Chains A and B, each alone.
Chain A
């Protein structure tokens, strides 16, 4: 670990202003997470343009705090009104809501805050401990490997989707195609720029806001429910919840690490880890029949895993610019917006390593804030479940439009927002992976840049990606991995058919 960079990170973080952004981000995240229909990507996307006047460190710290806070916030609606505020709290409903019905809502909410906080802290500390190894790996990766890692990320996302692989691939290449508008990275060509307003290309932040805010609001306008009709009574004991969590350290640690591991797989995200951690808790329990009836272990497993995912999803995001989830896609958008490029510079002691450490330390402190805020606000949390969507929808759209226009005061950005809002809505509606599309948009320039440089190195030969004797073993290994990822599911199903 670079102690100098770590010292700078500590110095940067422990200022009144930065700490205020951490706390503000966590509070905002809890609110955004608790409101059914919103969630971390939307909250982060709306805030993105507002971070323009901020110092890069404060902007990134704010975004990551919103992300972390909303992971906890999602459990509030799941426990109180049986609707997950965010999809990554879906499994929390199974036992959280029955606890609420039994008059133990405060216990469930404090379990959620404690498990989220402890798992978040443990996984961030682990990430910090392994950061020297991560730095070594990232710095060892060359130009052709960076291109292949981008392709691998895209390939992985297409097979982690719930739709057909072809739909995922189409979404991914469509995202890549969006980045070809504007100036070519390696030449002076202006591509598809019928207007001077397009010379800088399509603003990816406007694309993100369109996909995560406008599309989501269109969806919300077509859905019933999600708001508590009746008064929610918050009974039970806060201290009981803390005690119950501390009495199950194995579940907390195991679920947190499961979340971290799954979160580090591009595209797997907190929803997947949430269910896996819950089912693992059921599997390893002496009394599996009690799950779904208000078993505290279920809430612990679910909530520990989704906050563990946050640390895990940062690994591919800051190392190679590959988002592990929609939220990290927006976070990468924030990095790029502030002229910070994910990859080697984020791990360079002479570059942005201090910012990377500051980000992780902000997560660490944020998890403590979650614990304090979560526990102290429990008696008042039901307020968040009573906000009508008819107020949320216009306010979010207004903030999206104003924020997008504020990016560059370019009217094309507003049209981009509208276009990708509508396209995003139908992509989601018909099972086209939005995250694959976003990944394409985020990675397009990086992929093209590295492809071009690789071909320059090899005098135009594509063998640079597969020839281990002349160009080293890492590229062919990654190429092989891409083939395995793309063909694996078909080989698996073919093998199953062969076995009968």
Chain B
């Protein structure tokens, strides 16, 4: 049974999406949010550049100005005249793996689509099988960051991994190994690289840490012994 609150929320979101469709000429997606972030960041940077000297303001103004123009064009792509619209929407390339894909006989498109081009400069897209996955990982990363700022990264690490193991429904022995391993990694960092990770940066809280063995740990990574 759907609660009144969730019904109201869904209605509000639908109304917002409908309004967005009217404004944008298409159903709003996270891409529009991304473009809005670029647009607002560009406007803020142009506005902020007022306070800089002429020499220091030129480059930020040019880049932020271009950011504003390009993101505005992409947001308004459904209302652009023909040639300008094709610039905004048509894939244009001099060289891409796509060009050669067509030449390879007997290759299934679906198979080729799996080869998202990470190591070419060509941007690539991918299908998300489970939209919940990226959202959960992002949410857990936010939690990890929050804990880092409050209790410190040393103890935030096993909590984050434990939360992930819980979401991924790992068996208890596997989850335990993973959590213990992650704490081991964090502890190695604490000893060898950054003892500051035991402190919450924002709160200054410092929890007790296991006794550090008396090792010249900086040599682990090839540096000079401390």
Contacts and interface: CB of A to CB of B under 8 A. Distances in A.
B120 A267 contact: yes
A60 to B, nearest CB: 13
Interface string B48-85: 11001101101110011011001101100000000000
B117 interface: yes
Interface in B93-128: 93-98, 100-101, 103-107, 111-112, 114-126, 128
Interface in A253-288: 262, 265-272, 274-276, 278-279, 282-283, 288
Given A275-B101, A397-B141, A409-B194, A430 B30 contact: yes
A425 interface: yes
B186 A162 contact: no
B222 A164 contact: no
A269 B117 contact: yes
A221 B164 CA distance: 11
B120 A224 contact: no
Contact of B71 (A83, A170, A393): A170
A292 interface: yes
Interface string B133-148: 1101110111011001
A265 B90 CA distance: 22
Interface stretch (A123-131, A186-194, A237-245, A376-384): A186-194
Given A53-B222, A87-B119, A425-B138, A402 B185 contact: yes
Contacts of B90: 164
A166 B91 CA distance: 9
Contact of A401 (B30, B73, B132, B148): B148
Contact of A160 (B49, B60, B120): B120
Given A402-B186, A414-B148, A448-B59, A171 B123 contact: yes
Interface string A426-444: 1111111111100100000
Interface in B166-225: 168, 170, 178, 181-182, 185-186, 189, 193-194, 196-197, 201-202, 218, 221-223
Contacts, number: 348
A217 interface: yes
Interface string B5-49: 000000000000000000000000111011001100110010011
Task: Report the interface size class on chain A.
Answer: 35 or more
Interface string A152-181: 000001011111111111110110110010
A428 B122 CA distance: 10
A459 to B, nearest CB: 14
A314 interface: no
A54 B221 contact: yes
A90 to B, nearest CB: 3
Given A391-B178, A423-B34, A485 B115 contact: no
A433 to B, nearest CB: 4
Contacts of A292: 105-107
A350 interface: no
B193 to A, nearest CB: 5
A7 interface: no
Majority secondary structure of chain A interface residues (helix, strand, loop or mixed): helix
Given A326-B119, A405-B197, A189 B130 contact: no
B56 A394 contact: no
A432 B148 CA distance: 31
B115 A222 contact: no
**Residue from B45, B66, B122, B165 whose CB has the most chain A CB atoms within 10 Å:** B122
Interface in A35-54: 39-41, 50, 52-54
A163 B123 contact: yes
B129 interface: yes
Nearest to B44: A192
Nearest to A189: B56
Contact of B153 (A186, A405, A435, A485): A405
A488 B94 CA distance: 8
Given A86-B118, A184-B55, A271-B122, A398 B185 contact: yes
A87 B96 contact: no
A275 B58 CA distance: 42
Contacts of A324: 121
B137 A162 contact: no
A218 B92 CA distance: 28
Interface string A293-333: 00000000000000000000000000000011111000000
B201 A169 contact: no
A432 B70 CA distance: 12
Interface of A: 17, 39-41, 50, 52-55, 58, 83-84, 86-88, 90-91, 93-94, 157, 159-171, 173-174, 176-177, 180, 184, 186-187, 189, 191-192, 214, 216-224, 262, 265-272, 274-276, 278-279, 282-283, 288, 291-292, 323-327, 390-391, 393-395, 397-399, 401-402, 405-406, 409, 411, 414-415, 418, 421-423, 425-436, 439, 447-448, 451-452, 485, 488-490, 493
Given A191-B49, A270-B120, 9 more contacts: A162-B98, A166-B73, A219-B128, A271-B97, A398-B160, A398-B182, A401-B153, A428-B125, A490-B87
Interface of B: 29-31, 33-34, 37-38, 41-42, 45, 48-49, 52-53, 55-56, 58-60, 63-64, 66-67, 70-71, 73-74, 87-98, 100-101, 103-107, 111-112, 114-126, 128-134, 136-138, 140-142, 144-145, 148-149, 153, 157, 160-161, 164-165, 168, 170, 178, 181-182, 185-186, 189, 193-194, 196-197, 201-202, 218, 221-223
13 contacts: A52-B221, A91-B115, A161-B122, A164-B87, A165-B87, A166-B87, A170-B74, A189-B53, A265-B95, A275-B97, A405-B197, A429-B126, A430-B34
